[in-house]
């Protein structure tokens, strides 16, 4: 996904990628990881969005757990929350057709590489697992950046999401550093408060999506930044403690922290996004 410093989508992607780093966990094989899932209320499985090896590792672990009898709900960042009705309708019309569900609930302009996510959708359909749209839409995130939470959520909704108070200082510090790093030191400071609010809202919405399924187990499929215990979705889950398992799928050249389990995958070759960046000008697309 190509980025420009002043693009909302670009900023969101930068937070997800730049904060999604962790230290290595020994023996983090799909078989070993899958055995941890059934004991948890919330299993948060991260990704580098364009890394097929990472997503294959994640799929293997999730599939093993489901084949062994675990029946969680699966919530996906790749579907905006407004599309839940489309997901449900597609399942009624063609209960086992993952391509049809993706077409109806996401479409060709969603920006995701659906070839990487179709196996997760197919797994949910095969085992009749709840499939939930977990993401705050780009349009709603943009409204929050411009006008605050009140432009999207009523007062009672803000309270239910945990967005009715100031953001914790450690989240503000970590996300601010990530935004700046993701934009080569050129992030416009005037946008910072709005962007921090939008990122918090995305994580809070994902957390709220998971909570009704805590008893049977809930899986979140999302970027590494969203599944980090220290700054991501777990911060918005009540009494997270031992009920949460956070798994980061991290490229081999990325240091960091924030996960219970880390799976290392090969780093992909990408063009340097900061190449040619000039203060006051967007990075090249």
- Write the pLDDT tens digit of every residue in 230-255: 999 999 998 777 899 999 999 876 65
pLDDT score of 62 more than 50: yes
pLDDT at 178: 80
Q: Are 218 and 224 in contact (CB under 8 A)?
A: no
Percent of the chain as helix, strand, coil, to the nearest 5: 50, 10, 40
- Residue 83 CA from chain centroid, whole number: 16
Render the burial of 11-22: b for 16+ CB within 10 Å, e for the rest.
bbbbbbbbbbbb
Alpha helices in 129-191 (DSSP H): 138-147, 155-161, 169-182
Alpha helices in 162-285 (DSSP H): 169-182, 192-210, 224-227
pLDDT score of 166 more than 80: yes
pLDDT score of 13 more than 60: no
Domain extent listing, the chain? 11-254
Tell me what the mean pLDDT of segment 64-78 comes to: 98
Phi-psi region of 107 (alpha: psi -120 to 50; beta: other; left: phi over 0): left
Token duo for residue 82: 């407004």
Pick from 62, 218, 191, 195: nearest CA to 136? 195
Say yes or no: domain 11-254 is CATH 3.40.50.
yes
Q: Residue 141 and residue 52: Cα distance in Å, rounded? A: 27
Instruction: Write out the H or E segment, with its range, that includes residue 116.
Output: helix 114-126
pLDDT greater at residue 111 or residue 60: 60
Q: Residue 171 and residue 137: Cα distance in Å, rounded? A: 21
Q: Residue 47 and residue 20: Cα distance in Å, rounded? A: 8
- Rg of the chain in Å (alpha carbons): 18
Task: Tell me the average pLDDT of the chain.
Answer: 86
Token duo for residue 183: 């934009």
The three-state secondary structure class of 73 is strand
Task: Identify the weakest region by mean pLDDT among 159-168, 174-183, 245-254.
Answer: 174-183
Which residue bears the tokens 């904060």? Answer: 19
């Amino acid at each position: 996904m190509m980025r420009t410093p002043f693009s909302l989508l670009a900023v969101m992607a930068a937070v997800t990628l730049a904060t999604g780093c962790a230290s290595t966990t020994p023996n983090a094989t799909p078989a070993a990881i899958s055995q941890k899932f059934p004991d948890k209320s919330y299993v948060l499985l991260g990704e580098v969005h364009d890394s097929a090896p990472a997503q294959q590792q994640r799929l293997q672990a999730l599939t093993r757990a489901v084949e062994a009898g675990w029946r969680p709900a699966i919530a996906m960042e790749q579907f905006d929350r407004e599309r839940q009705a489309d997901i449900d309708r597609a399942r009624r019309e063609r209960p086992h057709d993952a391509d049809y569900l993706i077409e109806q609930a996401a479409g060709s302009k969603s920006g995701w590489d659906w070839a990487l996510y179709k196996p997760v959708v197919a797994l949910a359909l095969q085992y009749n697992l709840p499939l939930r749209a977990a993401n705050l839409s780009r349009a709603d995130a943009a409204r929050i950046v411009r006008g605050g939470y009140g432009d999207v959520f009523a007062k009672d909704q803000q309270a239910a999401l945990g967005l009715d108070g100031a953001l914790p200082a450690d989240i503000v510090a970590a996300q601010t550093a990530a935004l700046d790093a993701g934009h080569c030191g050129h992030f416009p400071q005037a946008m910072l408060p709005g962007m921090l609010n939008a990122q918090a809202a995305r994580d809070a919405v994902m957390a709220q999506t998971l909570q009704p399924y805590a008893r049977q187990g809930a899986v979140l499929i999302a970027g590494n930044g969203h599944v980090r215990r220290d700054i991501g979705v777990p911060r918005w889950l009540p009494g997270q403690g031992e009920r949460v398992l956070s798994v980061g799928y991290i490229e081999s050249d990325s240091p960091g922290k924030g996960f219970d389990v880390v799976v290392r995958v090969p780093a992909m070759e990408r063009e340097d996004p900061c190449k040619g960046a000039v203060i006051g000008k967007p990075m090249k697309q």
